[in-house]
Amino acid sequence: MFSLKTGSSMNIQRAYTNCRYGQMHYRTAGADNGKPVLVLLHQNPSSSFEYEALIKACAADRRVIAFDTPGYGMSDAPPAPPGIPGYAAAFSEALDALGLTGPLDCYGFHTGTLHTIELALLRPDLITRIALTGIPMYPPEGRAEKLADALNYPKIDEDGEVIKALLANLWNYVIVNRDKRVPLDKAVWNFADKAKVLHHFTWAYKGVWEYNYARLPEVSQPALLLQPEEDIAGYSRAAAALLPNCRVVDLPDLDRDIFDVAPERIANELRSFFA
């Protein structure tokens, strides 16, 4: 049975660094041993908590740092939605504040794919290779519709109807429709991690749906698309085709909750690519 105590490894440390929006929280494990530090950037509206099993798996042979996106997890929030470039700039400042001079490898999942891509474009002096899972490059009309929904989403109200509706949808997605290999206790912690920011869950999504995918061909670093057979798999592969030097590895037997059900497998694929 999962518990917060047993689900978190003692070798994962939690700490803060600084960026333009205040303090940025991160989880870290592993030792500096000459290999590039691996930076993990999570999906929205999660935090680095979703990566704990992957952190432990990847930290077997290198140092791993997983940030909480500003405004999510335990990181300070920006005053307004900063867009993907704003988030990337904050990650860049956090890496500098930690004294990391590169080379660094970076992996991003869903929203984190765009943070990873933008960070790679911003800091080619630091980021030497990138890996991605689930690039959300919906067709332009779909992105425009989703952006309009995010911009016009109802504000929280005194009677709590907006938040209660969000919580019900989140419960169905995270708990009811989970991969049943994920223990219920762990799924509840995943739910709680996402639920804490529902009052501004659309902030990062605004950046996702307005992102300029014409920037993808500008990425100079070698890239890996590690793609399960999830609902956005086709869109993700189309985005990967825009990256000049991207290798694709399909995971047809995986769909969702991949860091809970297959962390060692994901870590081994990343380790093979980053080697």
Q: What is the pLDDT of residue 70?
A: 98
* 271 in Cβ contact with 245 (< 8 Å): no
Q: In the chain, what are the domains?
A: 10-274 (3.40.50.1820)
CA distances for 200 relative to 46, 102, 197, angstroms: 12, 33, 6
Instruction: Give the three-state DSSP class for 99.
Output: coil
What mean pLDDT comes out for the span 100-106? 94
Percent of the chain with pLDDT over 90: 92
Q: How many residues does the chain have?
A: 275
What does pLDDT average to over the chain?
95
Whether 228 has a pLDDT exceeding 50, the answer reads yes
Q: What is the pLDDT of residue 102?
A: 83
Whether 10 has a pLDDT exceeding 50, the answer reads no
Whether 8 has a pLDDT exceeding 60, the answer reads no
Separation of alpha carbons 224 and 117, rounded Å: 12
What mean pLDDT comes out for the span 230-240? 98
Q: Return the HEC string of 105-159.
A: EEEEECHHHHHHHHHHHHCCCCEEEEEEECCCCCCHHHHHHHHHHHHCCCCCCCC
Whether 5 has a pLDDT exceeding 70, the answer reads no
Q: What is the pLDDT of residue 19?
A: 98
Instruction: Give the tokens for residue 217.
Output: 């061909």
What mean pLDDT comes out for the span 105-130? 98
What mean pLDDT comes out for the span 130-144? 98
Q: What is the pLDDT of residue 224?
A: 98
Separation of alpha carbons 39 and 26, rounded Å: 10
Q: What is the pLDDT of residues 23-42, one digit of tens each?
A: 999 999 999 988 999 999 99
Q: What is the pLDDT of residue 6?
A: 35
Of 11-15, 127-131, 152-156, 263-267, the least confident: 152-156
Q: What is the pLDDT of residues 144-182, one digit of tens each?
A: 999 999 999 999 999 999 999 999 999 999 999 999 999
Q: What is the pLDDT of residue 7?
A: 40
Separation of alpha carbons 146 and 83, rounded Å: 15
Whether 262 has a pLDDT exceeding 50, the answer reads yes
What mean pLDDT comes out for the span 86-107? 97
Separation of alpha carbons 256 and 18, rounded Å: 32
Least Cα distance to 223 among 115, 117, 123, 134 occurs for: 117
Whether 61 has a pLDDT exceeding 50, the answer reads yes
* 79 in Cβ contact with 146 (< 8 Å): no
